[in-house]
Amino acid sequence: MPSRRFPAAWLPGLAVSVCWLLPAAAGGPPLRASARAPAQEPPARVACGAYEAVATGAVGSRPTRLLLQRQGRVMTTVTAYAIAAVSCDDVTGDGAPDLLARTFSGGAHCCETVRVWSLGDKPRLVLDYAAGNAGGASARDLDGDGRAELLLGDDGLAYFDDLDYASSPSSLPLVACFAGESFRDCTAEHPEALREAAARFRERLDGSPAGAGRVRGAALGFFAASLLLGQAAQAREDIRAVVQDEKLMAWLERAAPKLRVWADARGRKLKRSGS
Ligand SMILES: [Ca+2]
């Protein structure tokens, strides 16, 4: 079933809109606004199996409430500064569609929450993921087996050390696979998204440096993605060859233990028993 994104009239403001229009570093599609959307849209409804998701409660031009209904009966309600996107995909792999919703807390670029409900007799919340700065989750069949994986953003390296937001690798891909009750980190089994992220950070290393922070951020992102790919040693040599800056290399070495802690902890944010 196709994803549904909400119209331009619901984007909460220019600052947030610009942020959402940026392609998600996780590789997810950007939230594109329709330039022709009328100022007043009827509440968006997304059919999903026996359920219907209704975004309503608009404040100004944005929906603030998501109702999950079955046969006209409200089964679950979510309230947020903005309901950013709703889609219907089977991400649990049981053949039945699940409802995915992204909500936004308000702010320049933070924070986004990604929820997934498995839709049986009652909706069961199987993911309540604090994506933070790393918005743009999507369901994608990454390995072509006909089952969608959930591609999330991980903002664990945002503002790393003394890096500012723009310089830091604020979103790295986190692939989530359903494992009975909750999702687990299966990024290593689907390395394509990591390879894309690594290549993107690597490109930034080659470009004219706009400042030390930007170069360090790109080096950190490339190193972090490579670490998850099991290619940290090669990445270290690549960075050294490109930047030729031993101070930066020393900074990266100091960062390495923190990166390993981050890498080991990524899956924990996915552990959420259903409710
Ligand atoms: Ca399912």
Q: Report the pLDDT value the prediction gives residue 229, as an integer from 0 to 100.
A: 96
Rounded distance between C-alpha atoms, residue 48 and residue 137, angstroms: 18
Domain borders along the chain are: 1-146, 156-275
What separation in angstroms does the CA of 198 have from each of 27, 59, 96, 191? 12, 39, 34, 10
Which tops the pLDDT comparison, 23 or 61? 61
Whole-number pLDDT of residue 165: 92
Q: Which of 234, 247, 162, 159 is nearest to 195 (CA)?
A: 234
Span from the CA of 7 to the centroid of ligand 1 (angstroms): 26
Q: Who has greater pLDDT, 212 or 46?
A: 46
Cis status, amide bond into 111, omega within 30 of 0: yes
91 alpha carbon – ligand 1 mean position (Å): 5
Expressed in angstroms and rounded, the spacing between residue 35 Cα and the centre of ligand 1 is: 33
Q: Kindly state the DSSP code that residue 180 receives in the 8-state scheme.
A: T
Q: In the predicted model, is pLDDT for residue 254 greater than 90?
A: yes
Whether 41 has a pLDDT exceeding 70, the answer reads no
The residues, any chain, with a CB within 8 Å of residue 162's CB and separated by 6 or more, are 213
Q: How far is the CA of 117 from the centre of ligand 1 (A)?
A: 9
pLDDT value, residue 180: 87
Residue matched to tokens 């390495």: 256
Q: pLDDT by residue (tens digit) across 74-126?
A: 999 999 999 999 999 999 999 999 999 999 999 888 999 999 999 999 999 99
Alpha-carbon distance of 20 to 151, in angstroms, equals 16
pTM as predicted: 0.81
Is the pLDDT assigned to residue 9 strictly greater than 70?
Answer: no
Report the CATH number of the 1-146 domain. Answer: 2.40.128
pLDDT classification of 35: cutoffs 50, 70, 90: very low
**Percent of residues, the chain, with pLDDT higher than 90:** 66
pLDDT at 26 over 70: no
Separation of 262 CA from ligand 1 center, angstroms? 29
Q: How far is the CA of 69 from the centre of ligand 1 (A)?
A: 17
147 CA distance to ligand 1 centroid (A)?
10
Q: How far is the CA of 97 from the centre of ligand 1 (A)?
A: 5
Pairing outcome for strands 149-154 and 172-179: antiparallel
Ligand 1 centre distance from Cα of residue 108 (Å): 33
